[in-house]
Structure 1
Amino acid sequence: MDTARIPAHLEVAGLLRAVEAQGGFGTVLAKGEHEAGTLLVICCDRGTNGCLFERMPQLDGTRKWTLSKQESHENPLEITEYWQRRKRQDHDLWVIELDHPEATRFLT
């Protein structure tokens, strides 16, 4: 098990550059702790069909991107409300949005 982590600000910058290099758009919605902040990533396509992913610890000690929320037509603000609530609880949290038709592929 490898416990080394890339600093959060570098991971964020890499995700944003990768999506932009493929013709998408990436933005930071909330900045977290520079080195060890947790990341929430919202993937969408032209601002719709949002899905929120966060890295969850696995039994083997790794951390895997896991779908936490999906945009709902009944409550389109659910993802925003969720990450804002999480940010109030965890000031180290980064929230970024990747807008690209295949945004989830950048999480691999």
Structure 2
Amino acid sequence: MTEARPATGLSVSALIRRTEAEGGSAMVLAKGDATAGAILLLLADRGRPVGLCERVWRFEGGFGLDPVGPADLEQPGAASDYIARRRRSDPDLWAVEVDHREALRLARECLC
């Protein structure tokens, strides 16, 4: 039996609203497939990038967030170059920036 899942666009919208409700900011950097696109998150704290992660399906059930991308996001263009490479190989990929001191917690609560 297949488990019903919310559309990707709905999940991204929920993450943005939740982040803004808790005093942070979030924005779509690149829009992917509204129904089943993958989600790549650029996590930031006060404008400083602190991580990149991607929502992945766990075979034991449900979604998780795995760290991806370059180790040093402080390098100019490191995050944007990685996102551009991923989008070239997967045009259905959503890229979302979440700027909040607890960005990872918010992402887990909304996307996993």
> How many percent identity over aligned positions?
39
Matched residue SS, 1:98: strand
Name the CA shift for 1:103/1:2 in 2 (closer, same or farther; >3 Å): farther
Corresponding residue for residue 97 of structure 2: 97
Q: Deviations over 1:3-57 (max 9, x none)?
A: 3221011001000000000010010000001111110011101111331110223
- Is the CA contact (8 Å cut-off) linking 2:50 and 2:73 kept in structure 1? no
Alignment gaps of 5+ in structure 1: none
Matched residue SS, 1:76: coil
Comparing 59-68 with 92-101, greater Cα deviation is found at 59-68
Aligned counterparts of 1:91 and 1:35: Cα–Cα separation in 2 = 13
Name the CA shift for 1:99/1:71 in 2 (closer, same or farther; >3 Å): farther
Aligned counterparts of 2:73 and 2:61: Cα–Cα separation in 1 = 36
Q: Deviations over 1:42-83 (max 9, x none)?
A: 110111133111022334243311111366266232221111
Corresponding residue for residue 40 of structure 1: 40
Task: In structure 2, give the amino acid aligned to 1:38.
Answer: A
Aligned counterparts of 2:18 and 2:71: Cα–Cα separation in 1 = 23
Corresponding residue for residue 78 of structure 1: 78
Task: In structure 2, give the amino acid aligned to 1:72.
Answer: D
Name the CA shift for 1:44/1:8 in 2 (closer, same or farther; >3 Å): same
- Is the CA contact (8 Å cut-off) linking 2:32 and 2:92 kept in structure 1? yes
Number of aligned residue pairs:
108
Alignment gaps of 5+ in structure 2: none
Matched residue SS, 1:4: coil
Name the CA shift for 1:73/1:53 in 2 (closer, same or farther; >3 Å): closer
Aligned counterparts of 1:104 and 1:76: Cα–Cα separation in 2 = 22
